[in-house]
Amino acid sequence: MSRLRRLTRSSLVSFAGLLGAIAGLLIQWAANPAKFSGAQQSFGIPFPPGILFIVGAGLLMLVTSRWWWHPIFAVLIAFWIAVVGTLAGQLTPNLFSHNIGTVAGNAIMTAALLLSGVAGVVSMTSGRRTSAVPAPQ
C-alpha cells in the first residue's frame, strides 16, 4: 500500500486509463465474442488477449514505481494499441462497425489509452524534473 501513496496524481490517472481500456475491451468482447475467438484460442485464454498486455503494462508500472520513468509502460501500450493499431488498419474498422457495442467499446478503449499515455508522459516529465532537483542542504 505504501507504493500507492507515493504515486503522483498523473500516475494514478495513467493507471485509471489502463483500467478504462480494459473496460473498453470487455465491452467489445460482450458485444461480439466471436471477434476474439481466434486470438483466444491462440493464447489459450477465455478472454481477449489485449487484457493481458494492458494488465502487464500496469504491473510493470507498479513494480517500477520507485523510479520517475515507471509510466513508460502505459505510454508504450497506449502507443502500440492506439497508434500502431490505427496504422496497421486494425483499429479504424472497429470504430466504423455496424455493431454499436464494438464501436462504443473501441471508442472507450482508445480514449482511455490516450488518457493513460498523456498522463504517463506528464508523470514522467514532472518526475524527471523533481528527481533532477538537488536536495536542500
Q: What is the pLDDT along the chain (137 residues), one digit of tens a residue?
A: 455 557 889 999 999 999 999 999 999 999 988 888 777 777 788 888 899 999 999 999 999 998 999 999 999 999 999 999 999 998 899 889 899 999 999 999 999 999 999 999 999 998 888 776 565 66
- Is the residue at 49 inside a domain? yes
| Cβ contacts of 109 within 8 Å, gap of 6 or more | 20, 21, 23, 24, 25, 27, 28, 81
Buried b (16+ CB within 10 A) or exposed e, 23-32: ebbbbbbebb
- Is the residue at 5 inside a domain? no
At residue 135, what is the residue type? A
- Is the residue at 87 inside a domain? yes
CA atoms within 13 A on the CB side of 5: 2
- Is the residue at 133 inside a domain? no
What single DSSP character describes residue 35? G
C-alpha cell at 7: 504515486
Measured CA to CA, the distance from residue 86 to residue 114 in angstroms comes to 13
- Is the residue at 135 inside a domain? no
Domain housing 86: 14-128
Give pTM, 2 decimals. Answer: 0.86
Domain count along the chain: 1
